[in-house]
Amino acid sequence: MASSNTVLMRLVASAYSIAQKAGMIVRRVIAEGDLGIVEKTCATDLQTKADRLVQMSICSSLARKFPKLTIIGEELVVWVDPLDGTKEYTEGLLDNVTVLIGIAYEGKAIAGIINQPYYNYEAGPDAVLGRTIWGVLGLGAFGFQLKEVPAGKHIITTTRSHSNKLVTDCVTAMNPDDVLRVGGAGNKIIQLIEGKASAYVFASPGCKKWDTCAPEVILHAVGGKLTDIHGNVLQYHKDVKHMNSAGVLATLRNYDYYASRVPESVKNALVP
């Protein structure tokens, strides 16, 4: 166990450093002015030069330092999203963008790093850009100030660019006081832990394990909860289906309230 913990903390420390470097790459691509945008599957599913460069940087760095991501014969998996919120990145909504590195052990998300390359970008030309949030289950989460939405307020954060009837029906069922439509799973979890939203509701297939692994750890480390729309815990072992086909429901507090309001019609339409 001691050996496993040592390797985990080495991996977290390396991922933290790598995530900061990734944030610099994301900012550099914007500054150079050529995003190198290509469509992957449709007009809302984009890839940029930053995606490709960050993916290469993260993978090569981890491969050099940890050529065998295995601990005592048991499974350790790293889930990477080099640019979460790519569409928003191409449209200049830079505070939506994050770099995600999640670490799972025996299928459970146990450590996560979120780099927000353009944090503080609206504070003026002399502002220091970027921050890195990180967390380990059982240790805590760091790099931000934990806040909660005022009691009695129900503020939902959900997708900006991938909405449909299921998403709309589920959000409406929450009887929200306000709805925030933003990009990036990492960004939405940051909204939860910084008191801007009460629940992240995405009743649709779309986001993948690399979108949720790191953010889930940060949320769980401060007492929150992330599941699919049915309330099932997400699995992150190496052979798991990449798509979160039954959507995402996440809250910092009062998970049961939001879970109880998910319509049966939505649950029936989303197969885990």
Residues in the chain: 272
- Compute the distance between CA of residue 206 and CA of residue 204 in angstroms, rounded to an integer: 6
Extract the annotated binding site. 74, 81, 83-84, 211
Annotated binding-site ranges for Mg(2+): 74, 81, 83-84, 211
- Answer yes or no: 95 catalytic: no
Tell me the mean pLDDT in the region 103-119.
95
109 pLDDT higher than 60: yes
Catalytic residue, chosen from 86, 98, 159, 212, is: 86
State the pLDDT at residue 71.
39
For the chain, which domains are there? 1-142 (3.30.540.10), 155-269 (3.40.190.80)
AA identity, residue 50: A
3-state secondary structure of 250: strand
pLDDT at residue number 121: 86
- Listed residue (53, 251, 18) closest to 134, CA to CA: 18
The pLDDT of residue 59 is above 60: yes
Tens-digit pLDDT profile for residues 136-165: 999 999 999 999 999 999 999 999 988 899
- Residue 124 pLDDT class (50, 70, 90 cuts): confident
Q: Token digits for 203?
A: 């009743």
Catalytic residue among 6, 44, 51, 169: 51
Residue 50 pLDDT exceeds 60:
yes
**Is 86 a known active-site residue?**
yes
**Is pLDDT larger for residue 100 or for residue 44?**
100
